[in-house]
Structures are given as C-alpha cells and as structure tokens.
Amino acid sequence: MKYARRVRNIKTKLAIDGVQGCLIPSNDRFFVTIPNPGVLNWVTGFSGTYGVLIVVEDDMFLFTDGRYLVQAKQEISLWAGDSIIVHDNQRLQEVLSQRAWAGLRIGYDPMSIAIQTLDRYVGVAMNCGFELVPLSSAIIGNVGSISQFLEQDPLEPLSTPSAYILGDEHTGKSSKQKITDVLESSKRLANEEGTHILITDPASICWLLNIRSHDVEHTPLVLAYGLLDLKTCKITLFCQNLDVVAHLKGRLNDVVQSIHHIDKVRHKFIELKNAVVLCDPRATPTWFLQNQGSGIKLVCAEDPTVSMRSRKNSVELKNIQAAHICDAVALCRFLVWLDETTRTETELSELKASQKLLEFRYQQESFLFSSFNTISAYGENAAIIHYHPTKMSNKNFKYSESALYLCDSGGQYHYGTTDVTRTIAIGPAHESERDRSIRAQHKLYFTAVLRGHIDVANAKFPQKTSGAHLDSFARKYLWELGQDYPHGTGHGVGYFMSVHEGPQTIGKNGHTELLPGMIVSIEPGFYKEGEYGIRIENLYVVSKCADLDGFLEFEPLTLAPIDPELIEFSMLTREQRAWLLKYHQTIKERVFPYLEAHTIQGLETRYFNKLKELQ
C-alpha cells in the first residue's frame, strides 16, 4: 500500500543520511492549522489538523490530542494495523522515556518546527537520552527537506485565484495605519531596539496588508512570510505562489518594498546587517534561530498583529453579523429540509445531507466556500469528534431507530467566517421500550451539554477574565454525571480568515484575557464511542456588559434553532429557560424576515412550538 511504501522510503533515506529516526509534524513551514494534504497526511493517511509522527528504526508513534485519538486510530489502522501506535500528545515524554533510544540521532526539518515547539521536544530528548538533529544544508540540498524524503509523486496543488485587496469599507482600517500601529507596539516589545519584524503567520500578513486569496482550501489566505522594516515601515513579502500576488505590487507600493518567492526568505534573512529581528516563537521556524549570523540578533516576542486582529473593529463586526444572518437563512432552510426528508423516509446519507447544506449556502449571494470540511455524522460516526464522511465511511440514515445526527459546518462570506454545530434527533422516540430508553439517554446528555453552553453564553464576567476561568461552566453538568469531553470549549475565529484563530480560547489552558471585539465559539460536547456524539456550537462576540460597569458578556452571532426534541425541560433552571427563549426570539426577529413562509412554518412546527412550554 502507498503509505507503507512511503514509510519504507523514509527509513531507507534516513539510514543513508546518518540519522536513526525523524520527527514529522502535521504542519508545513506556514503552520497552517486546518486540514491540508501535508506531509503527515501524505505519509500516514491521518487527516487531522494536529499530530506528530516519530519514526525511529522499527518504532513508529503518532501523537495527537483528544479531538483526534479515535479518528487517528481508525485512519491509520486501515493500512498499518498496530505498527503505528497512536497516543495522546500529553503522554509524549512518558511513552518515549520507555524506549531504548539513548545515543540515537533523530532528524527534523527546521523549517517545519517552531522555536517554542522545539524547546519542548529538546526537553523530552534530553530526558530520554537521544539527540534531535536539524537537517543540515547538505541533507536539504540532497533531498530537499523531510517532505521530500517521500517520493516524486507530488501533492495535488490547489487551483489558486489571484489575490485581492479589501477596501477600508470592509476592514475599517488601512494597511498603512495597521503598520503604524504595529510599529508602536514593536517599540514596546524590543525597547526601541528592533529594526525588523519577521512575520511567519500568513493570517498576520493578510490582516496587515488587507489582502486575501485562496492558497489554502477553505481559508482565504495568501501563503507568505513578511519581513517588516521598522525604519521604512515597508514589508518585503515572500510568497508561496508568486504569481498570485505579483499583480498587486503597484497598489501596495506605499506598504510593500518588494515581493519574492518564499524560497528566497532564508537568503534575504542571512543578508541582514546590524539587525534586531523580532519573531514570534510560536510560529517561527527554528531555522531562523539557528542561522542568525554575526549581524543578526533574533528577539522572541509575540507577533503584535495577533492581539490586534483578535479584536474586531466596528466595521468588521457589522460585516460579520451580516454574514451570520446569511448563514442563518441557509441553516434554517436546511433544518426544515432535513426534518421533512427524515419524516418522509426519503433516502438520505451523511454525504447527501452535507451536499444539501452546501447548496443552501450557495443560494446566499455573498457565500464563497465552506470554512472547513463539513462534519456530517450520523450515529456512531458522531462520536469521532472531527469525522468527515467519505464514499467508504458514508452512513445512511435509519428512520426505524432512535439516533442522533451531528452537523458541524461553516462558511466564508463577503465578509465574515461562520462556524456552527447542531445535533438533531432522528427516528422514532416512543415506538418501543428500547427507543424510549435510547432517547432518554440522548436527552440526559444533550441537556447537560446545553446547560453548560448556556451558562457560558449567559455569563457576565469582570475584565481580566480568561477562557480558563469560564471553561468549567461548560463542563459542570457533565461532571455531575461523571463525564467530560476531550477538547476545548471554544476557539477564536478570524475576520474573513481562518475558522480557528487565537490567541483567545475557552479551555483549561486558555489564559488569554477575553477582550471586547474578540470572537469565540462555545461548543461543549459529549461523545459515546461506538454509539453517538453531541455538540452544540455557536459563535459569540465579547461585548461590554450593558448593565454592569467593568464587566463583559457574550453577544450571539450564530442564529439557528436548537432541537427541543432533545431537551429535558425539567432539568433547566429559570435562567437557562429565559436564555433559551430569548435566543430563539432573536432568531425570529433577525432571521425570519429573510425566510419564505414554508420555511417559517416548518421551523415553527419542528422547533419553536415545542419551546412554548418553557413560558
């Protein structure tokens, strides 16, 4: 099989190049954290957004996080059996310390491992007695990089349209003003010693220059690095697809010094003289730290654009809210279609449902493309947290049994990014004792997840609060049942950009302060492996609290009804009932004016009428 052949090729070339193993991350040099045909996927078939493969002689381990453990085991076992052992990333040192690797040399590509990430791996290596070896220039010259240890059959390139510039009416601030803001911030970060900022996050480049393209599937990114000269206030760009951006040079003359291919960035970096270069250790390849040269001092500091772009301005928020209304129209039509289809027992599958939702989104004039691969999961497939249906895994709905359908999807609109998850009851609920028992279990855990979602969404919290402070609100009711979920409660979202964008998160490790203008998801869940999965996700914007000075709250962006068939109303508190009624009233006020009578009637019958018993 092709994956086994690729692993054999890696092992053969490792021996030739004098190292006994290699470390292969899921990302490339752009550290783009969305599904793409990257090296790890190419080698193992694992399609998750996060993981690292360690190949040492006859040992092979893949480490990933809780979102992907079940998925990774399933995808890899199809060809590797148990020859690649999958572990939770948190067990990295524990697992490797049990291997007899003392004295071995393990290679890595310094352009695909960030400075901060390498620090962790070096610590593990020191404790376990092996050595991490950056691939030398000779090795890179011979085999290109670790990605070229594979074969000559290349990855399929995306069809990339030309990049384009967003006007001030879409961004609220010109690129020149943004660079001025970055300059002021950099003076504080480097005590006014900095001469340049090395920006290696494509999202930062796109935000700073107000440009977008489609170098990456589902995300309007231009894959590029930038070297910002703090004296001239101009940036030198290094692009993956030079032709995509070159035509913009004339329109960007006031902020862009020159445009080059990404392969030139290392040469240009080494040429710097008497330079103090700021870089973000979370996204800067270790190569730059290892090749500073005598005339360059690298200073690790947070990329100043990250915090700036996390707080959306009034123009961006207005456009984002408009995008969510468009998405709500598509979602409401889809939910009514799904209810009608399942009640008439028309043939339906995960792929068909996913395609139909995409059709409804394409009916919106401002819709461009999906913001990620839709998670359309029926029955036990919904227990795989980031499951995506394929022709092989595609599951047909069965109307004769009580089951759940989980749909996690999103869209890229002019101008806004959406992300929403709904879990929907499918099949009979009362026809047999078995159906009643299954549905009762569904309702128990769905209601626990919903109550946690509401408690976070309804929170009023003081300034200086981080996502870590709120995370337990979402888990409380599952904890009372002796359960939990193996992922964070929420992530940040970009402005017409990546659907996952920090630094803000809601989770046990979410220590970034939540600030007005930040967008976060709230998405607690419950997953019973082999049976079903539950998740309820909305996007919210952090806003100043209207009635409490110095406090903040969440304002909903996502507007789609929550399935009342799965709610045990008797478990809700008075505050939770009030939130649920207010949320659905907001849907009526903001979305119904854009819906046709047939869809409104379907929503009233399936969703809204059942909520009346809360009043």
Give yes or no: residues 115 and 208 share one domain: no
Across 75-89, 110-124, 268-282, 289-303, least confident range: 75-89
Q: How far is CA 381 from the centre of its chain?
A: 20
Q: For residue 442, what are the contacts with CB-CB under 8 A and spacing of at least 6?
A: 402, 404, 425, 532, 534, 566
- Say whether both 299 and 376 belong to one domain: no
**Weakest-pLDDT range from 4-13, 70-79, 99-108, 317-326:** 4-13
Question: Which of the four pLDDT bands, split at 50, 70 and 90, describes residue 36?
Answer: very low
Domain with residue 593: its CATH number is: 3.90.230.10
Residue 301 lies in a domain: yes
Tell whether the model's pLDDT for residue 19 goes beyond 90: no
Whether the Cβ atoms of residue 504 and residue 488 lie closer than 8 Å to each other: no
pLDDT at 163 over 50: yes
Shared domain for 22 and 45, answered yes or no, is yes
The pLDDT value recorded for residue 235 is 95
User: What pLDDT shows up at residue 142?
Assistant: 34
Nearest to 350 by CA among 294, 400, 407, 300: 407
Decide: 454 and 567 in contact? Cβ < 8 Å. Answer: no
156 domain-assigned: no
Q: Cα–Cα distance between 291 and 271 in angstroms, integer?
A: 11
Are 280 and 422 within one domain? Answer: no
Of 104, 126, 149, the last residue of a domain is 149
The residue with greater pLDDT, 417 or 392, is 417
Closest CA to 310 of 557, 467, 506, 494: 494
d(CA 180, CA 200): 19
For 40-92, the DSSP string reads HHHHH----SS-EEEEETTEEEEEE-TTTHHHHHHHHHHHHTTSSEEEEGGGH
pLDDT in tens, 418-460: 999 999 999 876 667 887 888 999 999 999 999 999 999 999 9
Contact 59, 99 (CB under 8 A): yes
Asked if 218 and 361 sit in the same domain, the reply is no
Mean pLDDT for 114-130 is: 90
For residue 288, the domain's CATH number is: 3.40.350.10
209-213, 228-232, 242-246, 263-267: the lowest-pLDDT one? 242-246
Return the pLDDT at 316: 97
Output the CA torsion sign for 573, 519, 558, 218.
negative
Looking at the chain, the whole-number percentage of residues with pLDDT higher than 90 is 60
Asked if residue 94 belongs to a domain, the reply is yes
Q: Are residues 186 and 275 in the same domain?
A: yes
Query: 185 and 110 in one domain?
Result: no
Two tokens at 94? Answer: 């524990």
pLDDT of residue 84: 84
Residue 85 domain flag: yes
Do 137 and 224 share a domain, yes or no? Answer: no
pLDDT band at 143 (very low <50, low <70, confident <90, very high): very low
Please give the mean pLDDT across all residues of the chain: 88
Residue-level pLDDT at 429: 64
Say which DSSP state 513 is in. Answer: B
- Domain limit, last residue, from 82, 117, 149: 149
Residue 156 binned pLDDT confidence (cut-offs 50, 70, 90) = very low
Question: In sequence order, which residues have a C-beta less than 8 Å from that of residue 175 and are 6 or more positions away?
Answer: 208, 209, 210, 252, 255
Which pLDDT does position 13 carry in this prediction? 73
Residue 159 lies in a domain: no
Instruction: Return the HEC string of 97-115.
Output: CCCCCCCCEEEECCCCCEH
Domain encompassing residue 587: 311-614
* Residue 529 pLDDT greater than 90, yes or no: yes
Please compute the mean of the pLDDT values over residues 267-284 and round it to a whole number. Answer: 91
Question: How many domains is the chain partitioned into structurally?
Answer: 3
Say yes or no: 597 and 566 in one domain.
yes
List the helix and strand counts (H, then E) for the chain.
19, 28
Q: Which of 89, 124, 149 is the last residue of a domain?
A: 149
115 backbone dihedrals φ, ψ, rounded to 5°: -55, -50
Which of 207-216, 267-276, 377-386 reaches the highest mean pLDDT? 377-386
Q: What is the pLDDT at residue 38?
A: 65
User: What pLDDT sits at residue 85?
Assistant: 86
The answer to whether residues 546 and 528 belong to one domain is yes
Does 457 share its domain with 598? yes
Work out the number of other CB atoms within 10 angstroms of the CB of residue 382: 28
- Higher-confidence residue of 42 and 61: namely 61
Determine, yes or no, domain membership for 155.
no
Q: What is the mean predicted confidence (pLDDT) over 539-559?
A: 96
Q: Please report the sign of the dihedral spanned by the C-alpha atoms of residue 113, residue 116, residue 120, residue 123.
A: positive
Cα separation of 484 and 409, whole Å? 23
| Nearest-angstrom CA–CA distance, 459 and 470 | 8
Rounded-to-integer distance, Cα 363 and Cα 376, Å: 20
Dihedral over alpha carbons 318, 323, 328, 333 (to 10 degrees): 150
3-state secondary structure of 432: coil
pLDDT of 145 reads 42
pLDDT at 89: 86
Q: Which two tokens stand for residue 5?
A: 């052949």
Average the pLDDT over 357-382 and give the result: 95
pLDDT of residue 75: 83
Q: Are the C-beta atoms of residues 607 and 335 closer than 8 Å to each other?
A: yes
Asked if the structure places residue 154 within a domain, the reply is: no
How far is 77 from 86, CA to CA, in rounded Å?
Answer: 10
- Both 295 and 315 in one domain: the answer is no
Residue 503 domain-assigned (yes or no): yes
Q: Are 509 and 89 in contact (CB under 8 A)?
A: no
The residue among 6 and 50 whose pLDDT is bigger is 50
Contact 14, 135 (CB under 8 A): no
For 142-156, 169-183, 419-433, 547-561, which range has the lowest pLDDT when averaged over its residues? 142-156
pLDDT higher than threshold 90 for residue 415 = no
pLDDT at 418: 98
174-183, 213-222, 390-399, 425-434: which range is least confident on average? 425-434
